[in-house]
Amino acid sequence: MPSLRRNHLLFWALLLPALLPAQGPLPLDTAPLTPEPRLLPPSPWRIPLGLLVLCLALGLLFLLLRILAKGRRSRTAPLPPPHLQAQSTLRTLMAQPPRTPEEQERWMARLAELMREYLAGRFSLEARRLTTQETADALESLPALTPPQRRFLHTLLLSCDMAKFARSPLPPEKLRSLGEECMTFLQETAPPDPTKEATP
């Protein structure tokens, strides 16, 4: 009997390992994975900030379009004719009479400059690059000007030169008279108005 019992135990000792599941490392597919990162909840400021950025972008785009449109209008806007430009500049100059010899020197220089610019724009005479005597000689070839008008321009430019180089101040009445004579010259030598000529 002891032998039978011992054989019985040996039988189960050999059989049990085959029946029990094998112990060992876990398979790869069942290995523990790293925990997934926790996603933060969406910020409540996300939508307002997005709307603010969108409004700023639209505002900048609108401002850029206005600047471009303004620049296009300024480039295409026609300039006023030379006599109107000169008259406007002369009115501004006469509204600011000089009070000191230095101011009078600058005033006379500006008066000569605007008259030279008028000659360049109205008669295509580049008087800005010519001396007073060269300008007087060039005026002789302009049939649109009468002899008194040529003499007036020559005398005016000489007076402006005297104020610049000789520093000889003129009385305020003389300055006002020069400005009025220049205005008369601009009005007399302005091109004819086609609208007035078309009116019966």
- Give the tens place of pLDDT for each residue, 152-179: 999 999 988 888 776 667 788 888 999 9
Encode 66-94: b = buried (16+ Cβ within 10 Å), e = exposed. eeeeeeeeeeeeeeeebbebbbebbeebb
Mean pLDDT value of segment 112-124: 93
Mean pLDDT value of segment 51-76: 78
Distance CA 160, CA 108 (A): 5
Q: What is the DSSP string of 68-112?
A: HHHHHHHHHSPPPPHHHHHHHHHHHHHTS---SHHHHHHHHHHHH
**What global pTM score does this model have?**
0.58
